[in-house]
Each structure stands twice: as structure tokens, then as C-alpha cells.
Amino acid sequence: MVEFRVDRASGLPAYLQLGRQVREAVRLGRLRPGDRLPTVRDVVATSGVNANTVLKAYRELELAGLVEARQGSGTYVKATLGTAAPEVLEELRGKFAKWVIEARAAGLEAEDIDALVRAVLSGGPDGA
Amino acid sequence: MVEFRVDRASGLPAYLQLGRQVREAVRLGRLRPGDRLPTVRDVVATSGVNANTVLKAYRELELAGLVEARQGSGTYVKATLGTAAPEVLEELRGKFAKWVIEARAAGLEAEDIDALVRAVLSGGPDGA
DNA sequence: TCTATTGTCTTAGTCGACTAGAACAATCTG
DNA sequence: CAGATTGTTCTAGTCGACTAAGACAATAGA
């Protein structure tokens, strides 16, 4: 089961946060085809957002072909994303986690790490 | 000089994107105390956002004590962020860049990498 | 079949982000 | 001093995200 975390202060619309979390979970293999997403009413109770907001997120995912909504039953994961094997992901996760530990040990704050990672990933200035 | 990139499709308010880019630049040492930020009118011409939006971003940075606005002259970086030495940052950047290359070589798409990085950094499920 | 559960839709309204265009104020430069 | 440059303020308006509360529709399970 997936737990949603909606950060109201982030500035990012709630429905986008929900959508992204589902996509990432599918991408990382934490959600597989056939798995059921939390109920609309569940998410409402858990995250405090409105039902329409959750519905909007789910509808976009359905439109993308990623999930399937069955009235009276629930919303189910339909497809997969990403082609990476679980073991490969695990190994890479471990290496990156080590890098983070090293960065922290070097005195970098969380925001320093964020900035560094973002700079490289965005392919932007001083990036790749 | 810093170049701003405002992504209108990201959902994140433009003024937050601008503010974050300044903070990150300061954090990575690409902006130092005394450096001048792009003119409000410059940003308007470059990124297409409204002057009031740019102003809102700059005002928040000033309120945070990070920059100083001098009317008729410009907006200048006032303080520093982060405590990491440039060489340390460089070394860490290089190691992370290598990790990214390895991930790509393993078949991961950009979004796979994003998801993995975010999962670890957020300290969330399967995180640190 | 009956009932609870779940997705879905409707209407109405609030609020923040953003735009538009103009004007003003302080500073720098020649 | 004169003109250009820059930050700043103002008013008015648009649009999307979100809330609120209720009702409807289809499915699952007893």
C-alpha cells in the first residue's frame, strides 16, 4: 500500500504531487500492475485534500494509461514504467545512499545536496 | 551572471522558481556576495514573466537577508549559504556525475533516476 | 436482493499566482 | 545638471487550484 504525502507549503499543486508519487512508486517497482491505489476517500481522510483534487490526479493517471478506475471497486495499476531491473535499482540506490552519507560527512546540509544534485541532473550549468 | 530558466509547465509558481535558482546558485558558489543579480527588466525580457512576479521573488530573497536591493543600481547578493568548500563540492559533483553515467548505462531513464534520487533524499520509504 | 463501498459528477465559491500598463523614486553616468 | 537605468508601487483584471457538500452510478460481498 502506498502512503501519500501532500506538502501544502511546497507550492506544487496537490494533484500533481499525488500523480508524481504514483508514477515514482510504479517506476521504482513499489507499485505493480494489479495493485490497488488508496481509495479516493482514503486519500481525502489521510492527506486532507478534497475528493475532487484526488479525482483529478487519478483521472490524469488514467488518461496516461497508467491506472484503471473501476467504479465500486477501486483504482488499479495497469501498466509499468521504466525498464530497470529491481536488482539494478537496488544496487544504484545503495551507491547513491553512500554518496549522500559521504556528502553529509563532508559538512553539506540537505539543501547543499539538493542544489548539487539538481544542478547535475538538470544538465544545466556545470552539469553533465 | 546567472541565467534564469522559468518552466511554466512545471506547476511551480514562477516567483518560487526564481527564488530557488538564486538560492542554489549562492549555495553552489556561482553567486557570491557583491555579485549583481539580473535586472528586473532583464528577467522580464528573458523569461517572459511579469515585473511584479520577479519583484516578488527578489523581495522574498531580500526579506531572507540573502540579497540587497539598491534602487537605481540593482539587486546584489549580500550573504552566503552553505558551508562547503568549493573543492569539496567539486569532488562530490564529480562522483555524483559518475553515478548518473553509471545509472544511464544500466538503462535507467531520466525519470527513473529522478525517482530514485528523490526517494533516497526524501528520507522516505526505502530511503536512508 | 440488499447494503456498503467506491468512483463520478455538479454547483458554487474562495484564494493565490500571474498579467497588464502605467507611473514614481533613487541612483548612476556623461 | 540631464538623461538613462533600476527598483518600486498601484490598480484592475484573468485564470487555475482548491474547497464544500451533496447526489448519483456501478460494483462487491453477505
B45 touches strand C (CB under 7 A): no
Length of chain A: 128
Strand D interface, A 39-98, C-beta < 7 A: 48-53, 56, 70-73
* Single-letter amino acid code for the residue at B22: V
| Confidence (pLDDT) at A127 | 40
CA-based nearest distance B74→chain A, Å: 23
In eight-state DSSP terms, residue A9 is G
Kindly report, residue by residue over B23-47, the tens digit of the pLDDT.
Answer: 999 999 999 999 999 999 999 999 9
CB atoms within 10 A of CB B113: 22
Local confidence pLDDT in tens for the 128 residues of chain A? 789 999 999 999 999 999 999 999 999 999 999 999 999 999 999 999 999 999 999 999 999 999 999 999 999 999 999 878 999 999 999 999 999 999 999 999 999 999 999 999 997 544 43
Cell of B82: 552553505
B11 touches strand C (CB under 7 A): no
B116–A contact, CB cutoff 8 A: yes
Nearest nucleotide to A48 by CA–C1' distance?
A: D19
Name every chain A residue with its beta carbon within 8 A of the beta carbon of B123: none
Inter-chain residue contact A112 with B30, CB threshold 8 Å: no
For residue A126, the SS3 value is coil
Kindly report, residue by residue over B80-122, the tens digit of the pLDDT.
Answer: 998 789 999 999 999 999 999 999 999 999 999 999 999 999 9
Confidence of residue B125 (pLDDT cuts 50, 70, 90): very low
Name the residue in chain A with its Cα closest to that of B98.
A128
For A18, B13, B43, B75, B83, the CA distances from B79, given in Å and listed in that order, are 36, 24, 21, 12, 12
Q: Which residues of A, range 8-47, sit inside 8 Å of B by Cβ?
A: 11-13, 16, 23-24, 27-28, 30
Cell of B7: 518552466
Task: Give CA torsion, residues A25, A31, A32, A37, to 10 deg.
Answer: -120
Cell of A33: 500492475
| Confidence (pLDDT) at B32 | 96
Counts for chain B of helices (H) and strands (E), in that order: 5, 2
Name the residue facing A93 among B24, B28, B120 (closest C-beta).
B120
